[in-house]
Amino acid sequence: MSFIRVVLAAVLATAFSAQAATDQPYPGTIVLKVDASNTAQNIFRIRESIPAKPGKLTLLYPQWIPGNHGPSGAINQFAGLKVSANGQPLEWKRDPVNVYAFHVNVPKGAKGVEVEFQYLSPVEASQGRTTMTNDILGVQWQSVTLYPAGYNSRAITVQPNLTVPAGWQFGSALEPQERNGDEVAFKPLDLETLIDSPLFAGRYFRQIDLDPGAKIPVRLNVVADSAEQLEATPEQIAPHRAMVQQAYKLFNSQHYQHYDFLFAISDEFGGIGREHHQSSENGVKLGYFVEWNKYEARRELLSHEFTHSWNGKFRRPAGQNVPDFNTPLQNELLWVYEGQTQYWGAVLAARSGLIKPEHTRDLIAATAARYDNVKGREWRAVQDTVNDPILNARRPQGWNNWQRAEDYYSEGELIWLDADTKIRELSGEKKSLNDFARLFFGVDDGVNVAKHYTFDDVVKALNTIQPYDWAPFLRSRLDGHGPGAPLDGLARAGWKLVYAEKPTDFLKAQEDLSKSANFQYSLGFSVTADGKLEALQWDGIGFKAGLAGGNVVVAVNGRAYKPEPLRAAVTAAKTSKEPISLLIKKGSLYQTVALDYHDGLKYPRLERIEGTPDRLEAILQPLK
């Protein structure tokens, strides 16, 4: 085929696949039936009745998934597509340019099409996130829905139906219309709200009221691998309830008719933390309640996702205002959407008692150290990392310290700490980021329709709270290259990042839980339980010695590798001129590597700056 014919074919294919979405209501209601009862094989079976006029019809499988910030629609797990009309099979054709689009010719006399397909949940971790086990299932409606192109998703009405395994209970923001045994019919709603309303179901299920007696319910819907994992004590439930009240005092509004935490405690069901307007998907490993003290750091997840009901779902960046699920999202303001949510998630966890304030300080120290040592800042500003959900989609990286990833989350947290302390300083402690939260997210109380914002809107709100040059303040931190992380806010809060030869007890416990040994700030890497190197610091000691991720430490100074001998070797090298000798295995090759390092072990912690106000303590105090 000639070059001209190739270009012409591409142009025609693009023109054929492109259908601008309109706000006109879609004629008729789509009836969606999902059979999620086959937990033995992890197969969801879907049937749809889609009203349609005779002629060309394009059906879309959702590609751009809110909360994932990228084109993560699981088209690779979509299978078995059959389309028919009036009982007769119809041929379909996948679009050659947009592989998420399927074209069908609806015959004369037909009033719609019947669609069948399957969503094949991964059966192994290497295939993706597991959404179905013997005891738990999660329904993400974008994975089990085809919808007609050419219409705004808010203008398409769907009546969803679900079959769950016998006897299972479920939690969701969806409102049931009728339940007959294990078949549930939900009230019709628009497609955008449906896809924003996932469901968790389980053999073992418990619903906990987090705001007893309130007109607007907030519920913690817990599913787990066993009944034992559901056993939460009143003392454990109390800080979750306090977190809800602290959020209300912070944002001074509610933008949902009810809110449902979907919470899975499982070693088999895929872990997750994803926001929705009236619910959130949350998945942690076993032990959240029954090993309460051990897993304290996990408790920030719920406060983070709850914050998203205000920040990310009610108030959304203007670039997220797209007509359907196959129009690209623009992520330039994710440092507000996710970064400020990361900040409030940590603050609310401390204010409510989910995490002790002193342990929150330890977590901030770990964040500050990590980003203060990101070598990739030299070539890539944090603003550019908002593109990572599209560029990398959270795939593993060989050189994360140099490549950078979704740093707008936690580096964004440091930027908002900077803004909070700056407001407090300039106002003589009379104003804070709390006031910004009430002003920016607290508008239109009771309204659950998204209200979009721009960078200028953020700057205007900050200036309303406390006049200052907020635009250059933010841009210098977002577009700058360091050196080091934006730690001015930490200093203004009355604390500084330091390194000690021993980790804090809390961070040591987190290291033990991860089953890794952290030498990042001394030797420039961490070591997994099986001796593999990870998280290498670009241009660090290990890097300069030629080490890479995946290398395996076999021995330390002639002795079989274990974390303690390596720690001892680093300590001993402080008073010795001899390098630390590592026997390294890379594939089938063994080699000895000498690390000429003599500065001892280094672990991050925060230290008070004498003579300064402790604004961090004030920030973490519960609101009255």
Q: What does the buried/exposed string (b/e) look like for 154-190 if buried means 16 or more CB atoms within 10 Å of the residue's CB? A: bbbbbbbbbbbbeebebbbbbeeeeeeebebbbeebb
- Whether the predicted pLDDT of 254 surpasses 80: yes
- Whether the predicted pLDDT of 23 surpasses 90: no
Q: How far apart are CA 138 and CA 100, in angstroms?
A: 22
Residue with more model confidence, 459 or 4: 459
Query: Where would I find the beta strands (DSSP E) of 461-543?
Result: 495-500, 516-519, 525-528, 533-534
- Whether the predicted pLDDT of 15 surpasses 70: no
- Whether the predicted pLDDT of 323 surpasses 70: yes
* Local confidence band at 83 (pLDDT 50, 70, 90 cut-offs): very high
What is the mean predicted confidence (pLDDT) over 167-175? 98
* Local confidence band at 79 (pLDDT 50, 70, 90 cut-offs): very high
What is the mean predicted confidence (pLDDT) over 310-317? 98
What is the mean predicted confidence (pLDDT) over 163-175? 98
What is the mean predicted confidence (pLDDT) over 141-165? 98
- Whether the predicted pLDDT of 14 surpasses 50: no
* Local confidence band at 11 (pLDDT 50, 70, 90 cut-offs): very low
Domain 25-200 bears CATH identifier 2.60.40.10: no
Q: How far apart are CA 414 and CA 409, in angstroms?
A: 9
Q: How far apart are CA 569 and CA 418, in angstroms?
A: 38
- Above pLDDT 90, what percent of the chain? 95
Q: How far apart are CA 364 and CA 382, in angstroms?
A: 18
Burial-class residue 242 by CB neighbours within 10 Å (0-12, 13-18, 19+).
Answer: middle
Q: How far apart are CA 1 and CA 92, in angstroms?
A: 25
* Local confidence band at 2 (pLDDT 50, 70, 90 cut-offs): very low
The C-alpha R_g of the chain, in whole angstroms, comes to 26
- Whether the predicted pLDDT of 16 surpasses 70: no
Per the confidence metrics, is the pTM higher than 0.85?
yes
Q: Do domains 25-200 and 505-601 have the same CATH topology?
A: no
Domain boundaries, the chain: 25-200, 328-499+607-620, 505-601
- Whether the predicted pLDDT of 179 surpasses 70: yes
Architecture of domain 505-601: Roll (2.30)
Q: Which pLDDT score, from 0 to 100, does residue 8 have? A: 36
Q: What is the pairing mode between strands 29-38 and 157-163?
A: parallel
* Local confidence band at 563 (pLDDT 50, 70, 90 cut-offs): very high
Residue 194: other Cβ atoms inside 10 A: 25
- Whether the predicted pLDDT of 358 surpasses 50: yes
- Whether the predicted pLDDT of 363 surpasses 90: yes
- Above pLDDT 70, what percent of the chain? 97
Three-state DSSP state, 606: strand
Architecture of domain 328-499+607-620: Orthogonal Bundle (1.10)
The mean of the pLDDT values for the chain is 95
What is the mean predicted confidence (pLDDT) over 418-424? 98
Closest alpha carbon to 507 in 603, 370, 385: 603
pLDDT 10s digits, 446-472: 999 999 999 999 999 999 999 999 999
- Whether the predicted pLDDT of 359 surpasses 50: yes
Q: How far apart are CA 534 and CA 518, in angstroms?
A: 10
Q: How far lies 67's CA from each of 89, 134, 329, 408, 619, in Å?
A: 36, 27, 11, 14, 27
- Whether the predicted pLDDT of 4 surpasses 50: no
Q: Which pLDDT score, from 0 to 100, does residue 21 have? A: 87
- Whether the predicted pLDDT of 343 surpasses 60: yes
- Whether the predicted pLDDT of 13 surpasses 60: no
Cis peptide bond prior to 96, omega within 30° of 0? no
What is the mean predicted confidence (pLDDT) over 526-530? 96
- Whether the predicted pLDDT of 170 surpasses 60: yes
